[in-house]
Amino acid sequence: MLKPMRILAILSLIVTSTACGWIGAPMSPTATPDPSIVGAEEYAVYSVLVKGYAVRSHTASRCCTREGCMPGVTSEMISDRDAKTEDSPLDSARFDVQVVLVGPEVMPVSFEDWVAFRRDYPGARGIANFSRVGFNAKKDRAVVYAGYYRGSTNAEGLCIVLAKQNGRWSVEDRKMVWIS
């Protein structure tokens, strides 16, 4: 027969083991998303903005660094974007549309460079690069920077606000940040 102290020790061990996840299903902490991984909703946003451009293979700089920099941009969206890693690699297979990814070495500067780019990437309107996307908590509003390069003196950088309605993203507002 087990003594009362031994029973108490065994019960204490069982309760502690269960609470700590040693017995039964393992307890898993809330998973924190890897800030370097570009998620499915980000690809859905990028797919709306591609418009026939070759796309830089890694994400780029940011725009809109404070709430109210554009109508509809909240601090929540900026914080979400800023928590993600810049220079994250993109995967052409994850876009909703067909894209060609180009590395950082493909950035035409001179007229001759653009002639070579058009030869190497026929049909591409130019090169686009994007920041990581910042979402609100409901993931129905987003902010993103987009740079579009079409020639040595034909480029622009935009801060873009998007809204998701009926499962589809669309541009709600855009603000030119720079132009050449």
pLDDT 10s digits, 94-123: 999 989 999 888 889 899 999 999 999 999
Domain ranges of the chain: 36-179
User: Do 132 and 149 form a contact (C-beta atoms < 8 A)?
Assistant: no
User: 80: closest CA among 158, 140, 166?
Assistant: 140
Q: What is the pTM of this model?
A: 0.77
pLDDT 10s digits, 71-88: 888 889 989 988 888 888
The residue type of 91 is D
Separation between Cα atoms, residue 131 and residue 146, nearest integer Å:
7
Separation between Cα atoms, residue 46 and residue 100, nearest integer Å:
13
Compute the Cα dihedral for 42, 44, 50, 52 and give only its sign. Answer: positive
Most trustworthy range by pLDDT among 6-15, 16-25, 60-69, 71-80? 71-80
CA distances (Å), 165 to each of 23, 141, 168, 171, 175, in order? 45, 9, 5, 11, 21
User: 151: closest CA among 94, 111, 96?
Assistant: 111
